[in-house]
Structure 1
Amino acid sequence: MHKPDEDQSFFDRERDKLAGEITTGFEELLSSSNILNRKLEEVLGMTRDYDPIANLWGCFHELMKGQKDVVSLEEQPLGLPGTGGHVVSSKQGGGGK
């Protein structure tokens, strides 16, 4: 049992006061840690929700990149008139009789 305040020495009173402050500090730290953990779990859960969307856009990007490669191999884009890259016809006509 604790002695009344006037019977305790200065050292005992200060020790009890500091122990109470430390206890309060640890309780606040524990509470803050729990809040931080909940927020981190929310963020991680939210990023998992975006994985299917990111995969879909990745597939779309690969599909479009593949389409661009096929088009560039099959057809060389014609330049604009006046830029020196414009080609009217690249086929040579067969010789008539």
Structure 2
Amino acid sequence: MEENTSFFEKERDRLTAEISSGFEELLSSSNNLNRKLEEVLGMTREYETIAALWQSFHELMRGHSDDGDVSAETEQQPHGLPGTGGHILTASKSGGLGAVQEEQQNS
């Protein structure tokens, strides 16, 4: 029966098989692409969750620093850390200790 098939029919069958193979490869590649895109979208959702967590932490810490600023304004005394030269030992300025405090605050 193959003897009766013309060159056109053989070439048509070969090209049809090649096109079909190409479509299968295209379908496989697009499925891989879709999986990768879903993975990327999933990762961005995870990052959004982490970013929201850090944002709430930042707002919480900013709220605490704002509260600290209000108390510092009412006390009218600068706050400092021990060992940095800004730490206030007493509130009175009498005697030798007051001179040390003024020197620490001015430096």
TM-score tier, shorter chain, comes to 0.5 to 0.7
Alpha carbons of 1:25 and 1:71: their partners in 2 closer, same or farther (altered >3 Å)? same
C-alpha displacement at 1:46, in angstroms? 2.1
Work out the CA distance in 2 between the residues paired with 1:42 and 1:19.
Answer: 35
* Corresponding residue of 1:57: 54
- 1:36 pairs with 2:33: yes
- Per the normalisation by structure 1, the TM-score is 0.59
Question: Is the counterpart of residue 22 in structure 1 residue 19 in structure 2?
Answer: yes
The amino acid across from 1:71 in the alignment is D
The one-letter code of the counterpart of 1:55 is A
The offset of 1:57, in angstroms, is: 0.9
2:69 paired residue number: 71
- What's the offset of the Cα at 1:9? 1.1
Aligned pair 1:12/2:9, yes or no? Answer: yes
Identity of aligned residues (%): 63
Residue 60 of structure 1 and its aligned partner are, at CA, apart by 2.4
Q: Report what 2:91 is aligned to.
A: none
How far is the alpha carbon of 1:64 from its aligned partner? 4.1
> Alpha carbon RMSD of aligned pairs, Å?
3.1
Q: Judging changes above 3 Å, is the alpha-carbon distance between structure 1 residues 18 and 69 closer, same or farther for their aligned structure 2 residues?
A: farther
TM-score by length of 2: 0.55
Question: 41-50 or 8-17, which moves further after superposition?
Answer: 41-50
CA distance in 2, matches of 1:41, 1:69: 44
Higher relative contact order (CA 8 A, sep 6+): 2
Structure 2 segments unaligned to the other structure (5+ residues): 79-104
Question: Quick check: which one's helix share is greater?
Answer: 2
Shift of 1:68: 6.3
